[in-house]
């Protein structure tokens, strides 16, 4: 009997992981003039409704620890999810490890930012994620997540 294929080669046609990095647990209260007044819970609730309408399921997670994000990216690869929506927060500009984790999985990653990093401080202009992401959506506030979910839905075969 042939060995089963690794999970990496089995695509889940309806699951999208929505991963959020450092400080995004503070949305709604942290610099609302930049990031808006929506909390991560509000964004999650809105995405749940949108996902149901698109025939998708989301699994939204947040961590202030880079290693958790890396572990979740590896999990996405082994589960064969449809896509990952990733807002790595400040790690976007510093983490070669996240870049490498994305390269290591066969799952499209959509990079998301609430603000437009290119219209902010110079150190935010470079992303270690963009070069390995399927696409980048930024500058539309909480709607950036909704646009990313629409893009993920469009990846279904």
For the annotated catalytic residues, the residue numbers are: 35, 113
Please answer whether residues 16 and 57 qualify as being in contact, where contact means their C-beta atoms are separated by less than 8 angstroms. Answer: yes
Please answer whether residues 110 and 47 qualify as being in contact, where contact means their C-beta atoms are separated by less than 8 angstroms. Answer: no
- One DSSP character per residue, 15-74 reads EEEEEE-TTGGGTTTS-HHHH-S--HHHHHHHHHHHHHHHT-EEEEEE-S-HHHHHHHHH
Helix (H, G, I), strand (E, B) or coil at 157: coil
Please answer whether residues 143 and 118 qualify as being in contact, where contact means their C-beta atoms are separated by less than 8 angstroms. Answer: no
**In angstroms, rounded to a whole number, what is the distance separating the alpha carbons of residues 157 and 152?**
11
**In angstroms, rounded to a whole number, what is the distance separating the alpha carbons of residues 4 and 16?**
23
């Amino acid at each position: 009997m042939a060995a089963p294929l690794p999970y990496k080669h089995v695509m889940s046609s309806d699951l999208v992981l929505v991963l959020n990095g450092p400080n995004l647990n503070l949305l709604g209260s942290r610099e609302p003039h930049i990031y808006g007044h929506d909390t991560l819970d509000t964004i999650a609730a809105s995405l749940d409704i949108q996902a149901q309408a698109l025939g998708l399921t989301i699994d939204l997670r947040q961590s202030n620890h880079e290693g958790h994000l890396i572990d979740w990216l590896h999990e996405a690869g082994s589960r064969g999810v449809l896509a990952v929506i990733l807002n790595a927060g400040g790690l976007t500009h510093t983490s070669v490890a996240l870049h490498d984790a994305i390269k290591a999985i066969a799952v499209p990653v959509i990079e998301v930012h609430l603000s437009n990093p290119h219209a902010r401080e110079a150190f935010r202009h470079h992303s270690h994620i963009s070069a390995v992401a399927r696409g980048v959506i930024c500058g539309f506030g909480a709607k950036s997540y909704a646009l990313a979910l629409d893009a993920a839905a469009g990846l279904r075969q």
